[in-house]
Amino acid sequence: MTNKHTLAVAIAAAFALPVLADDAPANTTESIEITGKRVAYSNNATDQNMANYSSAAMSVNDIIDMLPGITVGEGGAFGGDDWSTTISMRGFSLNLNEQQIGVTIDNVPNGGSSYGGGSKANRFIDGENLQAVEVSQGTADIASASLDALGGTLNYVSVMPKQEREVEASIIGGDHSARRYFVRYDTGEIAKDTYAYFSISDQANDRWIGSGSNGESTASHFEAKITSDLDWVNLTARFSYDDSEEDNYNGVSIAGFDNDPRWDGLTWAWTGNPDLDQNFAEAWSTLRENYLTYVKAEFVLADNISADFTPYHHYMEGRGDWLPPYQAQSFDADGNPVNKGGVSNTRYYYLDANGNQVLDTPDASGNTCGSSLSCYGGDESWTRVSSYRHTHYEKTRIGATANLTWDISFNSIRAGFWVENQDRDEHRDWHNVVNPEVYHHYDNNPYWVQYDRNYETDTFKYYLSDRMTFGDLVVTAGIQQYLVEITRKDELIGQQTGKLDSDSDVLPSLGAVYGINSEWEVFAGYSENFKPISDAILETDQDFKNLDGEEAKNYELGLRFYGTSLQASVVYYNSEFKNRITRLERDTDADEIDFLNELDGTFVNVGGIDSSGFEASLNWDISNTLSLYSSATLNDSEYNKTVSDYADGLKQTIVKGNKVAGAPEEMFVLSMNYSDDAYRAGLSAKYTGDYYGDFDNQDEIEAHTVMDLYLGYNKAIRGGYFNSIDLSLNVNNLLDEEYLAGGVENYYFIGAERTATATATVNF
């Protein structure tokens, strides 16, 4: 990586030279249009009406579900369970298996959205501090910093500090023992043109499925942001900290959902039988801590030249828990028992009367006894055992983005780079459950460390673009390239065990916007997106030299209307996704979780996806108090290659012409909103048509319509201690629809039942 580091440092030094600049522009907040910015690619943004449908107790990911082309699925009523969160956009997905949509926070990369070591946006920003979410469907802005942006990007924009000193405090209560406390202090002007805020929140709720010891989700969150307009630079700094503990939701099959659409198979009463208690909800847990800091410096180098430089730091640590109903003994190559690593392992369910392991070794026919005491010939003097399995995640990212804009004649030239070093550790250990008959209390010291690995990823991206204006026609052309290097080290043996480069070709983009008049414009665009091979590939022992990074070509043609009271857009898109990397799993017993599995199977390039369709949105201010919003999506996504005969024991999972799993073909949203000086109300409905959940197109997710309602009252108070008081009520899934809310193949999450929350907010 020496050459890449040298290039990155040289460019960074050029951007960071001392600046003799004109006065910097005043710090302003960009106006975000719900129907999209006037650029040559499809984009939309959320607004306050959309935010009103989600109480602050819900995840910030919920707010984008009303936009065209997007579906958000969550197993939890409040979106706090990272395990069960899925997002789909134009056939591209964020789920347990795939990360194909880029995510940024104030244009700072989130570091990936995977469950194992990633962090979705709700780890970085509270709903009260969210200004909007900018969504680029298909084509991301060329300066976007993400390794996942095959299908576009989601940029979560935090609010700016207020210019007046103010305290905002709120409390939320609701179904499923939900409670949330939030306080934000805006400092006002603390120095010349310098403003800041600090906020803290604490939240908890039970799982909506079950009762009693049915699991819960807790989160403590802190944010701080400061802006300062100096004579020579505009500075913005932000810090966020999040500590979350979530008991997960389990996926179900179609048959399981049909049998009971209100149960995910987890239990909430401890039985003392490890075979049953492996599904105890309180033992299915996700623990995560996230720290993210950035400092953005914006310069004006001349009347027609501006630049910005944003260094950032992100640290994440966490754990995922499961409760295997057995213990494992590992062996080295000579058959000696070991407590770290090993080349083979055997389960055991019992200790005999002398405390010796009773290994569950296969007989001549390959059969095992499992937990059957009589099969071993044991008696009541034997002791049943179980384990508490922890997978530990830790990640440190240090990086920077830099951009320069030079306006000359009819050109606006942009150039920039993104550089990042990511250091990720992952290890798994197994702990003895002290007494499985009582509870899953466990020994702190593990009896076996299954693996311990370090992954280091060095990323460098550069781009160059030119925006050329010819009267009412604006043409944009650009190039970008990713240079990525990944290494793996086995910490148990202290050696590097894998290395790969995943560099893209030079990726072109071209677009045009033509202003027909002051209200109408037509746009068209073409771009090539790239996702490098991820470090998850190195978790297997396969030969990955023949794998290529994933690529997507996006074509768009659209029309926008910007009227005084009506804004609308419609776009036709076509995307060609190739070199899709998929993990083909070896056949296993679907009725049993393979807790010993590290990553059984192999990664292959399986052709890709062809997607095309239409997206439309409309926002109409009917009067000063009444508005209507609607969006429509018609999407056709198909696999373009059949996958078979890759290796013995691998099952065929992809068939050319099959519909893409988890990608709805029809979605329609309609919402009506009322707002005056004191009262506000809204009612929305989202229809999602039938779609397939699996590669084989055997699992059909039935069509469903989910309705949401909000009511609110705001009272300004003059002359008293308080400035205002606000009361609101949210009811999500108003009609208590029973439906499946996304997931992965043969493993789908049940949509939450009707859930109500009430919020009281005071400002003083």
Question: What pLDDT band is residue 655 in, cutting at 50, 70 and 90?
Answer: confident
CA distance 608 to 605: 8
CA distance 44 to 67: 7
CA distance 300 to 233: 7
Mean pLDDT in residue range 168-194: 98
Q: Which residue has the higher pLDDT, 217 or 499?
A: 217
Q: In the numeric block, which tokens belong to residue 357?
A: 């392991």
pLDDT for 600 beyond 80 = no
User: Where exactly does CATH 2.40.170.20 map onto the chain?
Assistant: 2-324+390-763
Instruction: Give the count of beta carbons closer than 10 Å to the beta carbon of residue 168.
Output: 20
pLDDT tens track for 696-742:
899 999 999 999 999 999 999 887 788 999 999 999 999 999 999 98
pLDDT of residue 5: 47
Instruction: Give the count of beta carbons closer than 10 Å to the beta carbon of residue 394.
Output: 17
pLDDT of residue 576: 92
pLDDT of residue 193: 96
Residue 665, φ and ψ in degrees, nearest 5: -90, -25
Question: What pLDDT band is residue 498 in, cutting at 50, 70 and 90?
Answer: confident
Question: What pLDDT band is residue 19 in, cutting at 50, 70 and 90?
Answer: very low
pLDDT of residue 721: 84
Q: In the numeric block, which tokens belong to residue 175?
A: 């179904």
Question: What pLDDT band is residue 604 in, cutting at 50, 70 and 90?
Answer: low
Helix then strand then coil, in percent of the chain rounded to 5, is 5, 55, 40
pLDDT of residue 13: 42
392: left (phi over 0), alpha (psi -120 to 50) or beta: beta
pLDDT of residue 645: 46
Closest CA to 659 of 614, 613, 603: 613
pLDDT of residue 587: 43
Minimum mean pLDDT range among 68-72, 77-81, 419-423, 532-536: 532-536
Q: What residue type is assigned to position 128 of the chain?
A: E
What CATH fold (topology level) applies to the domain 2-324+390-763?
Maltoporin; Chain A (2.40.170)
pLDDT for 124 beyond 90 = yes
pLDDT for 584 beyond 80 = no
**Alpha carbon 352 to chain centroid distance?**
47
Closest CA to 437 of 270, 578, 559: 270
Mean pLDDT in residue range 486-500: 91
Mean pLDDT in residue range 111-133: 93
pLDDT for 651 beyond 90 = no
CA distance 150 to 553: 9
Mean pLDDT in residue range 549-575: 94
pLDDT of residue 588: 39
Mean pLDDT in residue range 319-331: 97
By percentage, how much of the chain surpasses pLDDT 70? 90
Question: What pLDDT band is residue 10 in, cutting at 50, 70 and 90?
Answer: very low
By percentage, how much of the chain surpasses pLDDT 90? 78
Minimum mean pLDDT range among 60-69, 309-318, 403-412, 640-649: 640-649
Mean pLDDT in residue range 50-79: 95
349: left (phi over 0), alpha (psi -120 to 50) or beta: alpha
Question: What pLDDT band is residue 366 in, cutting at 50, 70 and 90?
Answer: confident
CA distance 150 to 458: 19
pLDDT tens track for 275-315:
999 999 999 999 999 999 999 999 999 999 999 999 999 99
Mean pLDDT in residue range 316-325: 97
Average pLDDT score, the chain = 90
pLDDT of residue 31: 46
Closest CA to 631 of 621, 614, 612, 616: 616
Question: What pLDDT band is residue 585 in, cutting at 50, 70 and 90?
Answer: low
pLDDT for 603 beyond 70 = no
pLDDT of residue 596: 87
Question: What pLDDT band is residue 32 in, cutting at 50, 70 and 90?
Answer: low
Pair type for strands 102-105 and 152-158: parallel
Environment class of 701 (CB within 10 Å of its CB; exposed 0-12, middle 13-18, buried 19+): buried
Mean pLDDT in residue range 5-30: 41
Environment class of 471 (CB within 10 Å of its CB; exposed 0-12, middle 13-18, buried 19+): exposed
709: left (phi over 0), alpha (psi -120 to 50) or beta: beta
